[in-house]
Structure 1
């Protein structure tokens, strides 16, 4: 029993070693910091007092000229201003190291057993979404730690701040309002709205109202993003397997309906932890596209299912190594596994 108990710790240690080796290799790889360069440039524009958003952002996106495009609200760029004292390369390295720390923190914050946290971290270190996110410099690991904080602090104001930040960075996290409505929990709704307003107000002295208007204009003018290069969705999967375009176009709205129904069912018929994790995973259905690194969120069902004795769940994050057409199907698989009633294993004597 003692030797079995140490396995999760050994696995997590090996996972961290793998992550460190990968980080060293990434620092000299092609594509290193591809996404972060856009965030860094936006932060440097704020530091220089220049407009945050490029005037031709929507048009460049339409032409698939994605290099340097910043498509987030001002808060992310504001948060990265301290890194502008470094060169872009050094800032990219610092951002990667910081997010390794966030990955550790995110897994540690999950309100599951110690062994489930360690095993979740271990498998995360070997998963494509985590490695892909670290290399690109994206925010999916930031989303992970915010969601973990929201899960652990679900009944506290700090959890509402985490939810507000999540919605700002990934709009589909607004589905939690559906969860709370059907759980008849008004407090997190009020707190999250208040936190969101607060995040906007504290940023106004730095960027002003005009930058928010520019952001809304960009969002309004973006083209269909569900079938762009490297954008994975149920629609792109349907097209890849030969389903006609008109029929394939129904896949995305059907995903929205399935995700919403899963959220409502979990909120009404399952416990709060299951409802939370189903809502997190459902954000992958309630979005017009996903990138592979979005599947960092698969660590949440892995953690909860492991905590409840479902050992097979440790392979969930590894399914992201499968071909791209398969990846949009991982969220429905995880949701189905979460909604199947399962008894907790009896405590060890």
Structure 2
């Protein structure tokens, strides 16, 4: 991973270890030569050759893109992001600029966008907070603070309310500790018998235990109750507490039981912003697993679905990130 060292030199936000996973679809480009790429990009940007821009930037790893951006700046005396903004627009611009960010910057950007404007995008908040590890969330908080000069926790609190707000903050500040399986099953089982739901019990338990521990607890709870935990939550919280809280708890349970299936279902909406968000965020980490889950849940490969849904250079970029048929 010698390229990572270059990336660290070009950005103060880069973590000591990139969120690299062996199950990502995007890998380092072999025989990477940033000087050659910078020259080709410079010409493509001058000619507004969008296809070449997309081909290069979607076929390099994040660390290689960061290295390329620094070489481009030295070569042209211009910031690559600024040059890209002049040539690209719309969804394609957001895709390529997203690829240029390091992982924690990108997730911080998605969180900020989810909270801007009239309404809050709770689904995106939950997706990121439920699927990221405590260390990743710590990196995201630092990136958010540096990029926007704002406190992520305070912003999340201002955009949410009640027990849903408690859940969101607990997810952001996940602290994984020990638990006893039988005791945790008994706690949740007893809570489900209460006529007045106690959200605090669910929030505390689901945000302070190891994911493997929680999967066992949820599996045993389902066996005991004879129904899925999602169905149990739906009936238990029906009409009593906020819909956002119920949605949040069900999302958290889905992510604990099979986060790849959850992300695949997010992509099935085929909303451009959602598809881009999930694919870019997981491209170097575990997108291959999301692809498998997508095929299993829909009967269609993600590659084919993207071909049908998107056109032009945006399709070219998404297919390059997806990489192949399954």
* TM > 0.5: no
For this structure pair, what is the TM-score category when the shorter chain's length is used for normalisation? under 0.3
Using structure 1 for the length normalisation, give the TM-score: 0.27
Q: Indicate the structure whose relative CO is greater, using CA pairs within 8 Å and at least 6 residues apart.
A: 2
Larger Rg: 2
